[in-house]
Amino acid sequence: MLAQVIVSGLAMGAIYALVALGHAFVWKTMNIVNFAAGEFVTFSAFIFVATFINGFNLNFLLAAFFAAAVMAALGAAFSRIVFARLQNQRVFVAIISTVGFGLFLKELARIIYGPQPLYYDGPFGQGAVSLGGVMITYQQILIFGVAITIMVGQYLVLRYSMLGKVMRATALDRETAALMGIPVNAVLAGTFAYACVLAAIAGILMAPLFFVTTEMGTLVGLKGFVAMIIGGFGSIPGAILGGLLLGFSENTAAFLISATYKDAIAFLVLLIFLVIRPEGLIPEANADRA
């Protein structure tokens, strides 16, 4: 049923949107593309399932909290130890450093947890509810609920809180923000940590949908980047819309054409947007194209 396929696509699109939000935040604030996002998805899924669920027998919420905390610490450490030393280098150097860090995380997961896939059936098992004849799993409902909560909370924090003003000021002009007394390096570390938390949440939400493997996050990270480009390079609302549109498009097209081409369809959508509307759905003012 097409409606079933659309629901599944939108659920996956919500995961892409979370990764795309992380990409957009890092780009706006740090002016780099975080090509380690997919590996953060992978590493967080392993930590969540292998360490906190299977190892410490924690419940879903506690395991998710500790996994996200570990990823936030890794992200902040990368920003303070690596990125802070590369700020005066060319942007390309900083971007390459994220690629290297991603490879490090992938191999670290392989060394610690081994090459065998892990299975986790989630906090709700295979439970589902029927809405208008469409079966929606509890895991998909959880994905939608978490994604909406994060997006609304993020908007409120950025729009109305002092922390949001500090982050926006740093994104607008780092030098001026530093002159005004804003701890720029701490803000950058916090931004990267938050992007890593978003990737971690994506990995945690994906774990019950697929086997946890060292390759599970690679395409997700790339598709999150594609979603940001489709939505508008660096645009926060665009990242959300781009993720949902990408998930919907690839699932629907795979159903109508062939599942064999599912991943290719995602990048075909990107090419179409680059030709027809290269600025994205919701263009960000003064956004530079990669």
Residue 245 lies in a domain: no
Instruction: Write down the pLDDT at residue 260.
Output: 84
User: Is residue 89 predicted with pLDDT exceeding 80?
Assistant: no
Instruction: Write down the pLDDT at residue 285.
Output: 60
In DSSP terms, 135 is beta-bridged to: 130
Per DSSP, the three-state class of 13 is helix
Residue 58 lies in a domain: yes
Q: Which of 275, 210, 269 is nearest to 242 (CA)?
A: 269
Residue 41 lies in a domain: yes
Instruction: Write down the pLDDT at residue 286.
Output: 52
Q: What's the average model confidence in pLDDT over 233-245?
A: 92
The Cα–Cα gap between 188 and 167 comes to 8
Contact (Cβ atoms closer than 8 angstroms) between residue 194 and residue 22: yes
User: Is residue 52 predicted with pLDDT exceeding 90?
Assistant: yes
Residue 179 lies in a domain: yes
Instruction: Write down the pLDDT at residue 248.
Output: 95
Residue in the block written with tokens 């030393």:
85
Residue 236 lies in a domain: no
Name the pairing type of β-strands 134-137 and 128-131: antiparallel
What's the number of CA atoms in the CB half-sphere (13 Å) around residue 17?
A: 25
Instruction: Write down the pLDDT at residue 93.
Output: 87
User: Is residue 82 predicted with pLDDT exceeding 90?
Assistant: no
Residue 121 lies in a domain: yes
Instruction: Write down the pLDDT at residue 211.
Output: 93
The Cα–Cα gap between 198 and 36 comes to 13
Residue 73 lies in a domain: yes
Instruction: Write down the pLDDT at residue 290.
Output: 41
Residue 254 lies in a domain: no
Count of domains for the chain: 1
> CA angle, 171 as apex, 68 and 66 as ends, to 5°?
5
Full DSSP string of 185-222: HHHHHHHHHHHHHHHHHHHHHHTTTS-B-TTTTHHHHH
The model's pLDDT over 180-232, given as tens digits with 9 standing for 90+, comes to 889 988 999 999 999 999 999 999 999 999 999 999 999 999 999 999 999 99
User: Is residue 251 predicted with pLDDT exceeding 80?
Assistant: yes
Q: What is the extent of the structural domain holding 13?
A: 2-216
Q: What's the average model confidence in pLDDT over 106-129?
A: 92
User: Is residue 240 predicted with pLDDT exceeding 80?
Assistant: yes
